[in-house]
Structure 1
Amino acid sequence: MKKKNVLFSGVAALTLFLAACGSSDSNTDSAADTASSDNETVKIGVVSEVEVDVWEDVASRLEDKGIDLEIVQFTDYVQPNVALENGDIDLNAFQHVAYLEDFNANNESDLTPIGFTYVSPLGLYSEKVTDYAEIAEGAKIAIPNDVTNGGRALLLLQAIGLIKLDEAKGTTPTVNDIIENPKNISFEELDAAQIARSLPDVDAAVINTNYATDSGLNPKEDALFLDTDNIASVADVYKNIVAARAADIDNETYKTVVAEYQTAETAAILDDVTAGNDVPAWEQ
């Protein structure tokens, strides 16, 4: 099994890595004289339309730095890591640290974070009630079926008093770790990409922001509760990242991609396309 601690080494090194990225100068004059056909192509995998919008803006700025960024959109949270592991893409940007940790542990992988992107809220939504206090006895709530997003969803529900979890389970509890459930809530565990569609069929649902916005929901206006309402309480493991294969952690081209993402220009478009919901994680 490949060493899992590569992930944590990557996270621990992010501060130094990001500082190095931020201080590097780009040879924009020579890049401007280089035809796009001579640029180096980098393929990056994303999941949502929102992430496509943001990375297209980054890609337009990278052209003058000798990089053609090709954005590959996936429809679920599994394939971007599989594609990165297989070498079909060079980077991906869709997941937080906890999700990558779980993927590595379950797939004998050593994919590694090389830069923070944003913190995305996880929200509780409903078409049946307007306040989470109104959630009734025996209600059905949909949550993501993967360990990390599912665990985060359960922690959100604990934060508003609907359930109580075994503290020993940390950031990755499961429904089996619920020790108090006063309203006898039942849980429907679904693929994260499918939960927004299930909203009419359940009493409430915990939905990732990218899928919420893709389905027309506005987290700040439509969510009954967002776990980022207290941003300081969101652990580093829930900060989204750009991931690469461990062998590419020092790749200078990939560092340039990360550095161009971590700019005021990206922060502005991120704020615009997510209606202020996603917060730059490199500034936290």
Structure 2
Amino acid sequence: MKKIFVLGALAAALSIGLAQAGEKLVVAATPVPHAEILELIKPQLAKDGVDLEVKVFTDYVQPNLQVDQKNLDANYFQTKPYLDNFNSGKGTHLVIVQGVHVEPFGGYSSKYKKLSDLPDGATIAIPNEGSNSGRALLLLQKAGLLTLKDSSNALSTPKDIASNPKHFKFKELEAALLPRVLDQVDLALINTNYALEAKLDPSKDALVLEDKSSPYVNYLVARPDNQNSEAIKKLALALTSPQVKAFIEEKYHGAVVPAF
């Protein structure tokens, strides 16, 4: 009887310990603002029984591959056009779970103060990945600097430019590298997370910037097999809480905008 009592006590203690530890959830994110937002909600998730671990990545490829291969549970860094293009190109089947915020995409220059100052034949650096390349070109089109063959094609590349009256030259680079080449080009179209990491202020430094109606929402992304799990649902709920909304508005001053 004594042995049974001891075993029962150990089992109860183990059960309590597991309950306190919570369900483990490992989420990939780029440093700013995604990882910062995830770190903010860790305490609340812990109270809700979810032990959140944030894995920081500085590229846009591994976070998706690692989730698809089930090395990670979810990620938070990307837009739907990027995800759709990634799934199509890589044969993955990742799914969006919850929209969280918009990062207005912008064009920056260390040489000029206005778009109208760009000289004939200026070199413009843009992301080399389909959806972000298209996003950059659509923004330049909206600013009146060029015209695309299909004015609504979100996957446009420089080959899809129909009219380029100022004979701009385009340099396609990995998105993370764009802030580093600002002094080597006339204009660089930079994703806001990388702009913020480079200490650029989109609201002050961008020569051209998407407005708050941008369709490029940043999503929490998971797999079909876990998108409806209780832990993922709790994470999605925490990411769209009043706490997160206030944090985004107070910390990023318009460089990041809540999408909920």
Q: TM-score, with normalisation over the residues of structure 2?
A: 0.91
Residue matched to 2:41: 58
Specify the alignment match of 1:260 in structure 2.
238
Aligned length: 245
Counterpart check, 1:275 vs 2:258:
no
Determine whether 1:209 maps to 2:187. Answer: no
Q: How does 1:110-125 map to 2 (within 5 A)?
A: 110-125=93-108
Alignment of 1:147-158 (within 5 A): 147-158=130-141
**3-state SS, counterpart of residue 95 of structure 1:** strand
Partner of 1:20: none
For residues 213-257 of structure 1, the C-alpha deviation after alignment (integer angstroms, 9 at most, x for no partner) is 0001000010011112xx33x23xx21100001111221210110
TM alignment of 1:136-147, pairs within 5 A: 136-147=119-130
Which structure would you say has the larger Rg? 2
Q: Quick one: distance in 1 between partners of 2:251 and 2:24? A: 25
User: Structure 1 residue 37: deviation in Å?
Assistant: 5.2
Distance 1:266 1:36 in 2: 26
CA-CA distance at 1:36 after TM superposition: 7.3
Query: Please, which moves more after superposition, 49-58 or 155-164?
Result: 49-58
Q: Could you tell me how far apart the structure 1 residues matched to 2:234 and 2:257 are?
A: 21
2:228 is aligned, of 222, 245, 250, to: 250
Partner residue, 2:83: 100
Aligned residue number for residue 188 of structure 1: 171
> Is 1:127 matched with 2:110?
yes
C-alpha contact (below 8 Å) 1:218/1:275 kept by paired residues = no
Q: Deviations over 1:31-71 (max 9, x none)?
A: xx877753111001001233221110111211100111100
Relative to its length, the structure with more helix (as a share) is 1
**2:96–2:219 Cα contact (<8 Å) kept:** yes
SS at match of 1:136: coil
Equivalent position of 1:222 in the other structure: 205
Aligned residue number for residue 22 of structure 1: none
Contact 1:36 1:68 in 2 (8 A): no
Matched, 1:45 2:28: yes
Structure 2 residue matching 1:189: 3-state secondary structure? strand
Counterparts of 2:228 and 2:34, CA distance in 1: 24
Gaps of 5+ in 1: 1-32
Cα distance change of structure 1 residues 168 and 201 upon mapping to structure 2, 3 Å threshold: closer
One-letter amino acid of the structure 2 residue matched with residue 164 of structure 1: T
- Cα distance in 2 for partners of 1:49, 1:222 equals 17
Alignment match of 1:83 (pick from 66, 83, 95): 66
Could you tell me which amino acid in structure 1 is paired with residue 233 of structure 2? Answer: K
Q: TM-score, normalised by structure 1?
A: 0.83
Aligned Cα root-mean-square deviation (Å): 1.5
Q: What SS does the aligned partner of 2:78 have?
A: coil
